[in-house]
Structure 1
Amino acid sequence: MTKILLVEDNEMNRDMLSRRLERKGYLVVLAVDGESGVEMARTQAPDLVLMDMSLPVMDGWEATRRLKADAATRGIPVIALTAHAMSSDRGKAMEAGCDDYDTKPVELPRLLGKIEALLGRAAALAPSGAEPRA
């Protein structure tokens, strides 16, 4: 089963999105701040991370930079989730190391398309002879 780490501090957003993803067949693990998100990415080895950018303790920008700087987690695709819809925010997310960007409120069909595209790309990039992350 494909595991998604959802890093989101807003309880309502976290509950709503995790339930919707679970109904689509994903296993969802949760973190409530950037620091715990980085730690959970290391210990849970998710197939993909959905990262809120406005987080307590450590924001999503820094958490993503740390994930991408760590050999153990750099290959995990990260989708930035933010209420900020300015084109500069998309650029900032990509600069931090995010693989894609989506805005809140989440439109599930659009987000699912991005998730599937990144999971397919990650499987295609898996070393020959290695099992793709599933």
Structure 2
Amino acid sequence: MSLSILAVDDSRTIRDMLSLALRQAGFSPSLAEDGMHGLEVLSGMAPDAIITDINMPRMDGFGFIEAVRSQPAHRTTPILVLTTESAPQLKARARSAGATGWIVKPFDPEKLVRALNMVAGPGGTR
């Protein structure tokens, strides 16, 4: 069974790269362009994991993570942050909001797939 992944990023290029990498790995991706759109897409699905950027318009990644975690159905859904940011205080803020992990862009598709399998695959942390 393929994992269902919600990927939230305001960059069309990153969304396209994520979609390609996830499909090639056998995952079923759904895409959103910012946190608000991510919540809309999330309302109609139960993803095995979520990938989100931090710096986005309308609702940033921190707000998105907090909103996801406020929903009982998604309190344990793994959330990986995929961003160009690497500051320790931002990582700590993301963890405090409920993020499961942190990956810095540009991303290696194989490492991303491994991380998703670790947190959401059989025997994952979910």
SS at match of 1:72: helix
The percent of aligned pairs where both chains have the same amino acid is 30
Alignment partner, residue 69 of structure 2 = 68
In 1, Cα distance between the equivalents of 2:94 and 2:54?
A: 8
Q: Match for 1:31: what amino acid? A: A
Match of 1:121 among 117, 122, 125: 125
Q: How many residues align?
A: 122
Residue 109 of structure 1: CA displacement?
A: 2.2
TM-score where L is the length of structure 2: 0.91
In the alignment, residue 71 of structure 1 is paired with which amino acid?
P
Structure 1 runs of 4+ off > 2 angstroms? none
Q: Provide the TM-score with structure 1 as the length reference.
A: 0.86
* Max Rg structure: 1
Q: CA deviation at 1:42?
A: 2.5
Residue in 2 that maps onto 1:102: 103
Is the contact made by 2:35 and 2:58 (CA closer than 8 Å) also made in structure 1? yes
Residues 76-96 of structure 1 show CA distances to partners (whole Å, capped at 9, x for unaligned) of: 110011101122221111111
Distance 1:57 1:77 in 2: 23
**Partner residue, 2:29:** 28
Q: Give 3-state SS (helix, strand or coil) of 1:19's partner.
A: helix
RMSD: 1.1
Which residue of structure 1 aligns with residue 94 of structure 2?
Answer: 93
Q: Unpaired segments of 5 or more residues in structure 1? A: 123-134
3-state SS of 1:43 partner: coil
Q: Which runs of 5+ in 2 are unaligned?
A: none
